[in-house]
Amino acid sequence: MPFTADQHEETILGDIGRSLAEMEFEHPPAVTAALRTALELGPVGYLGDEEILRMQGAVGDWLAASYGWRPAAETIRPVPDLVTGFRAILTHFVPEGVPVIVPTPGYMPFLSVPQSINRPAIEVPMIEDGAHWRYDFAGIRAAFAGGARLLVLCNPHNPIGKVAAEEDLREIECIVAEFDGLVFADEIHAPLVLGERPHVVYAARSHRAAAHTITATSASKAFNIPGTKCGQLVFTNPDHLRHWRRVAHWHEHATSVLGVIATEAAYAGGRAWLDEIVEDLRETLREAVAALHASAERTGIRVIAPEATYLLWLDLRDSGLLRDDVSAARAVYDATRIRVTDGADCGSAGAGFVRFNAALPRPRVRAAMERLIGAAEAARAAEADGPGHGAAGLHGVG
């Protein structure tokens, strides 16, 4: 087991949570053993052709076993991480000044990185449909018609936890093909599917989808090894791969040899560990969502149960916790000492929301939900008492 309940007090004092998407668990024992052996054997040098070949084999085996997709080994290229790969693709495949499309709320760098290199980000808010999220296909089409070149397809979707259905992907494929666009498919949360709907690799669906897609993947999120710095870009269009090979040396060279070793070990020896983690996350998130739903009338906090990831996207707009003078994340921390990501950093559609990372031992998640529910109940009670009794300063946790 990654943890047991008796390792953590039911009443947790101090801060809870992480604003980054990483787990508060150990990584797989197979990774620990492989890294220890590598360091004992030493030396640890720069990434070379041998390490790239090993990485390509490990990733190809995992993709084939998990999703029935085995891209040619030479199409799987190393990058240190998702953000480095994303920035490189924008730099070399999207001309300066040309917009990219980001369905929002979206992973924060999908909005900040394009702006930093003069590729404007067009936000297309997702549509909340009761207990589900839908893509705004009309908005995506309008953005392409307005001159956008690339669509960021985050699937499973960080931060809302949506797993795209086949009909979603089919419609996206049609729109992108209509405008001769590109898709940057971020699929690094694919091993963390929680529900019945399986992950479908976008580029594996058809020759047309493969021709306009560059896929990002990594063991970093599922196996909790982001600091080892080894991700992958998969090029399913030969012309894209040829262009990448001309410009990619320094982007690839920054990938860590220890990251290759960790990735190999995770994929070869970590599946049983991952299955256990996913089952535990499924129960932790089910319990947290149930608590929030049961108290929603008292707190005003709304949440749609995620279909994947370990993230909860919390709507606080009716909770009484928000304050005009600070961000939603700061307001939550001041009231509860829970660390969250501010929803506004995920796009304008995220204003009044926060992202809570539930990849924590379950007692800590329980404690966080108790704090959040209690603070929201107190804030609403203070609002009902009239002016001068706002949320600020009422709910600090010692």
In tens, the pLDDT along 31-42 reads 999 999 999 998
Inter-residue long-range contacts of 40-45, CB under 8 Å, 24+ positions, other chains counted: 44/257, 44/258, 45/257
Find the mean pLDDT for residues 184-201: 97
pLDDT of residue 12: 62
For the chain, the domains span 5-27+272-385, 29-269
Is the overall model pTM greater than 0.75, yes or no? yes
pLDDT of residue 2: 45
Share of the chain above pLDDT 90, in %: 90
Mean of per-residue pLDDT scores for the chain? 93
Find the mean pLDDT for residues 253-264: 97
| Range 5-27+272-385 has CATH code 3.90.1150.10 | yes
Find the mean pLDDT for residues 316-324: 96
Cα 153 to Cα 136: distance, rounded to the nearest angstrom: 13
CA-nearest of 340, 334, 372 to 12 is: 372
Q: 93: Cβ–Cβ under 8 A, 6 or more apart, which residues?
A: 150, 182, 214, 240, 243
Stated as kind and residue range, the H or E segment containing 274 is helix 271-294
For 146-180, the pLDDT digits (tens) are 999 999 999 999 999 999 999 999 999 999 999 99
Quick one: angle between helices 49-67 and 257-269, nearest 10? Answer: 30
The residue written with tokens 């979603």 in the block is 168
Tell me which fold the domain 29-269 belongs to. Aspartate Aminotransferase; domain 2 (3.40.640)
Which burial class, exposed, middle or buried, applies to 18 when counting CB atoms under 10 A from its CB (0-12, 13-18, 19+)? middle
Contact 154, 110 (CB under 8 A): yes
Residue 396 has pLDDT above 60, yes or no: no
